[in-house]
């Protein structure tokens, strides 16, 4: 964590990128998913998320460790996705269409970026949920934090998977499954992939918690669960803006509210309590 840089300025920048991400997440949710406006809104939202993660990650870990996390996320996600596309393990048999843009091999670059950006949010939320004061309690966090973070990533995938694959056809499942055509092995694949990313990162940096939670402002931490929830806002709005596949859109909207919404709220409550309910 970089302590010398005035945290208030970072909070301004983080809040600004969060607002941009919020605006364009709402725009995505209310627009036609086949329109060029939707593609533009998704791109701007992703850029805002990326800037947010880089700023927060720089403050929390420093440049070297943040780049290390990025490298691990890219390498592990690319390797396992490539293996699964070829063999069907662990996600299942699928292939990407051209809708996600340029790719490296068979995997679009946007997929690796998603593991990096959203993985960072999940990791910091896990830190908030599991932060402990005593050394005896903290020693278990080197395993527990990566595991909880991977569960948060699986929850995110549960919310978007049928929309992104079955409805929008960003990737195609060659062998369909029980969850609106998505095989249940997909979620095991997400759990394994993201856990490996988080666990390898934690083992390499030997960081079992956030040393900055007592010294940074409450805003610095509140923006994390808010940004996590913002990633789910389009899924909440699709049922009101789309004219087809309404069963999937409506179901995913309910699931998003019950999972990402509730978890984000619990994380916010935990942060407020940690700071003595002082905003």
Q: What is the pLDDT of residues 59-97, one digit of tens each?
A: 999 999 999 999 999 999 999 999 999 999 999 999 999
pLDDT over 80 at 138, yes or no: no
> At 107, is the secondary structure helix, strand, or coil?
strand
pLDDT over 70 at 239, yes or no: yes
> At 100, is the secondary structure helix, strand, or coil?
helix
- Tens of pLDDT, residue by residue over 174-226, are 999 999 999 999 999 999 999 999 999 999 997 544 444 445 789 999 999 99
Instruction: Report CA Rg, the chain.
Output: 18
pLDDT over 90 at 275, yes or no: no
Pull the structure tokens for residue 26: 């709402």
Contact predicate 91/81, CB 8 Å: yes
pLDDT at 131: 82
pLDDT at 29: 98
Domain boundaries of the chain, sorted by first residue: 7-274
- Tens of pLDDT, residue by residue over 6-38, are 667 899 999 999 999 999 999 999 999 999 999
Pull the structure tokens for residue 105: 């091999």
Cis, bond preceding 25 (omega within 30 deg of 0): no
pLDDT at 76: 98
């Amino acid at each position: 964590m970089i302590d010398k840089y005035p945290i208030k300025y970072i909070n301004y920048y983080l809040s600004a990128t969060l607002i941009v991400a919020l605006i364009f997440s709402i725009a995505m949710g209310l627009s036609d998913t086949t329109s060029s406006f939707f593609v533009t809104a998704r791109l701007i939202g992703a850029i805002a998320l990326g800037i947010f993660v880089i700023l927060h990650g720089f403050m929390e870990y420093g440049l070297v460790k943040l780049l290390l996390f990025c490298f691990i996320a890219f390498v592990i996600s690319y390797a396992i996705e490539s293996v699964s596309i070829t063999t069907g393990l662990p996600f299942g048999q699928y292939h990407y269409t051209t809708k996600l843009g340029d790719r490296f091999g068979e995997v679009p670059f946007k997929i690796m970026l998603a593991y990096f950006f959203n993985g960072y949010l999940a990791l910091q939320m896990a830190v908030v949920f599991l932060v402990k004061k005593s050394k005896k309690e903290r020693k278990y966090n080197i395993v527990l934090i990566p595991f909880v973070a991977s569960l948060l990533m699986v929850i995110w995938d549960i919310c978007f998977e049928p929309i992104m694959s079955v409805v929008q056809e960003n990737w195609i499942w060659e062998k369909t499954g029980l969850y609106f055509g998505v095989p249940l092995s997909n979620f095991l694949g997400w759990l394994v992939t993201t856990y490996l990313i988080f666990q390898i990162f934690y083992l390499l940096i030997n960081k079992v918690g956030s040393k900055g939670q007592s010294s940074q402002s409450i805003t610095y931490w509140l923006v994390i669960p808010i940004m996590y929830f913002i990633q789910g806002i389009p899924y909440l709005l699709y049922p009101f803006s789309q004219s087809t596949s309404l069963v999937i859109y409506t179901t995913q909207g309910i699931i998003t509210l019950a999972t990402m919404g509730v978890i984000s709220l619990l994380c916010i409550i935990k942060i407020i309590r940690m700071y003595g309910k002082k905003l």
